[in-house]
Amino acid sequence: MQEWPGDLLDYCRELLNELSIRFHASQEGIGSSTTSRDHEEVGGREFRHCYYALAEIAKSLPHDSATDIKKIGNIISSCGRHLRAGLDGHTPKQWLNLHTEASLLKAIAQILAAASADCDLAIEVIHTLDMTLITTGGGSRKWDVLSLIEHMDRVLATATKISAGLIQSAESSFECLDESSVPAILRYFDRVDELGIGEFQEHLLTRNTPLIITEAMQNWPAVYLESWSSFDYLLNVTSNGQRLVPVEIGDSYVSKDWTQKVMPFKEFLETYILNPDPPALAYLAQHDLFSQIPRLREDIRIPDYCYADHETALEEPIVNAWFGPKGTVSPLHKDPYCNIFAQVAGYKYWKNFPESETENLYPRGEEDCVDMSNTSQVDVDGAVDLEKYPKYAEAQYREGILGPGEMLFVPKGSWHFVKSLTPSYSSKKQTTSDHPVNPPFSSYLWYSIKSLKPVNPK
C-alpha cells in the first residue's frame, strides 16, 4: 500500500499551521467593533459563524477528520450560495477568500486523515481544489491551491498510466475540411503572411478591418510540436483527464436548451468529442484555462499585437481558450474589446460585420433581466429569414476560413459569427508516426487586445 510522499505531508502540515495562525489573527480582528460592522455588511452572522467554525477546525486537525471534513463541506456550500447570489458583481471579497481557504482546509484534512495514498482520494482532492479555482480564481491562495494539485498529480502519475483507450479505440482524424460543410466565400478577409508591430499599428489606424495573419504562431509549442493535437498530451497535463473544466452544452448560448456543467476533462472528451452519438453539442469556452492549468500556458505566446496601443484600460490582455467539436457555433455578436483569435488546431468559418452595420443586424434587447444587446436576433447559420429581417440583406461583411497556426484580428465592436468546420470522426487509431495524431475537434485561443481606445479609420 503506497504512502503519501513525505514532502506532501510536510507541505500540508506547514500550510495547515499557516492557515491556523491566519484564522486566529483574523478572529481577533472580526471581534473588534469596526471590523465587526464590516462583516455585518459582507455576510453578517453567517459569515462570522463560518469563519469561527473554520478556525476551530483548523486547530483540531487532524483529529476527528471525518466530522471536520463534513463541516468544511457545509461551509463551502454556504460560500457558494453567497457567491451565486452575488453574480451581479457585488459579491463581498470575504466570501471568495473563505471559499478558497475552506477548500484548502478540506483538502488538507482529507490527505492527513487517509492512512495511505489513494488515487480516488487524490482525484477527490483535485476536484475540491479545481472547484475553488473555477469559482473564485484562487485569490491570494491561488499558488497554494495549484501546488497542492501538483502534488496530487504526482501521486496519480506514479499510481496510474495515462489511459490509451481514447487513442486505441478510434479511427484517424485528419485536419482536412469536408468541402460540403464549407460555405461559399464571397467577400474574403484580407490575408498577410507576416506583419510587424509597426505595420499592425498602421493597419489599426488606417483601416481597422479584420485581418488574417498566417505566420504569427510558428514559435508556439502548441503549433510546432502539435501538442494540442495529442490526446495523450492533453490527458497528461490534466491529471489523466481528471481536472475539472466548465463545459457549455447546447447549440449556442442563445439556445433554449443551453446550459453549463462542470466535469472532468476526460469525461468531456469521451462524452462529447469522441462519442459517435453525443447527447448534445458541447464545448469548453469563455474560461481562463491557463490560469487554472498553468502547464498549458507554456504552450502559447502572447502576440505582440496585443500591445499595439499604449493607451490602455487593461494591464494585461485577457486570454481565454476554446475546445469543441465540429458544428459548434458562436452566434452573431460583438465584443467590447479588439480581439486576436489564434487557431491552434482545426478550421473555423468566420463572418464579420463592421460596427456601422448594427442597425441592419437587429440587436436583441433585454431578455430575462439580462442585457443581450451585444447579440443579434438573426440566425446566420444557414438561410436567413429576410422577410423577418429585411435589412440584413443590405449589411456589408467580410468572411473567411481560419486554419491551424493562423490568427485573425477582429476590431472592437464589430459583429462576428463563428462556426467550427473541422470534421468530427467517431474514432481514432494508434499511429506509428513520431508526431501526435490530430484530434477530431477544433481548438483556438482569443486575446482581448490591451487597448480599449476606439480606433477610427482615416
The residue count of the chain comes to 458
Rg value, the chain, Cα = 24
Flag whether pLDDT at 115 surpasses 50.
yes
Model confidence at 168, pLDDT cuts 50, 70, 90, reads: very low
Model confidence at 2, pLDDT cuts 50, 70, 90, reads: confident
Please report, for the chain, the start and end positions of each structural domain, with discontinuous segments joined by +.
6-159, 179-448
Long-range Cβ pairs for the range 285-289 (8 Å, 24+): 285/248, 285/320, 285/322, 285/323, 285/324, 286/248, 286/320, 287/134, 287/245, 287/246, 287/320, 287/321, 288/137, 288/318, 288/319, 288/320, 288/321, 289/245, 289/320, 289/321
Give dist(CA 76, CA 333) in Å, integer.
36
Mean pLDDT, the chain, rounded, equals 82
Flag whether pLDDT at 37 surpasses 90.
no
Q: Which of 347, 356, 331, 368 is nearest to 412 (CA)?
A: 356
Helix (H, G, I), strand (E, B) or coil at 331: strand
Among the residue ranges 107-116, 148-157, 364-373, the one predicted with the least confidence is: 364-373
Q: What is the pLDDT of residue 396?
A: 97
Which grid coordinates belong to 411? 476590431
Q: What is the pLDDT of residue 83?
A: 86
Model confidence at 130, pLDDT cuts 50, 70, 90, reads: very high
Bridge partner residues of 233 (DSSP): none
% residues pLDDT > 90 (the chain): 45
Q: What is the dihedral of CA 53, 59, 65, 66, to 10 degrees?
A: -10
Is the separation of the CB atoms in 42 and 36 below 8 Å?
A: no
Burial (CB < 10 A; 0-12, 13-18, 19+), residue 301, is: middle
Q: Which of 445, 80, 441, 446 is nearest to 268 (CA)?
A: 441
Who wins on pLDDT, 223 or 150? 150
pLDDT digits (tens, 9 = 90+) for 263-299: 999 999 899 888 888 898 888 877 788 899 999 999 9
Flag whether pLDDT at 33 surpasses 60.
no
Flag whether pLDDT at 389 surpasses 50.
yes
Model confidence at 174, pLDDT cuts 50, 70, 90, reads: very low
Flag whether pLDDT at 452 surpasses 50.
no
Which grid coordinates belong to 388? 423577418
Q: What is the pLDDT of residue 393?
A: 96
Helix (H, G, I), strand (E, B) or coil at 114: coil
Is the separation of the CB atoms in 124 and 110 below 8 Å?
A: yes
Flag whether pLDDT at 217 surpasses 50.
yes
Model confidence at 251, pLDDT cuts 50, 70, 90, reads: confident
What string of H, E and C letters represents the secondary structure of 17-63?
HHHHHHHHHHHHHHHCHHHHHHHHHHCHHHHHHHHHHHHHHHHHCCC
The DSSP code sequence of 337-355 is: S-EEEEEEES-EEEEEE-G
Give dist(CA 212, CA 449) in Å, integer.
15
Question: Residue 330 CB: number of other CB atoms within 10 A?
Answer: 21
Flag whether pLDDT at 451 surpasses 70.
no
Model confidence at 86, pLDDT cuts 50, 70, 90, reads: low
Give the chain's end-to-end CA distance (angstroms, integer).
Answer: 72
Which grid coordinates belong to 327? 458544428
pLDDT digits (tens, 9 = 90+) for 415-437: 999 998 873 322 222 223 333 33
Distance of CA 242 to CAs 83, 234, 266, Å?
Answer: 25, 11, 6
Fold of 179-448: Jelly Rolls (2.60.120)
Model confidence at 34, pLDDT cuts 50, 70, 90, reads: very low
Flag whether pLDDT at 446 surpasses 80.
no
Which grid coordinates belong to 64? 476527528
Model confidence at 444, pLDDT cuts 50, 70, 90, reads: low
Among the residue ranges 95-104, 174-183, 224-233, the one predicted with the least confidence is: 174-183
Who wins on pLDDT, 164 or 16? 16
Q: What is the pLDDT of residue 283?
A: 86
Across the range 204-226, mean pLDDT stands at 91
Among the residue ranges 69-78, 163-172, 220-229, 241-250, the one predicted with the least confidence is: 163-172
Is the separation of the CB atoms in 361 and 376 below 8 Å?
A: yes
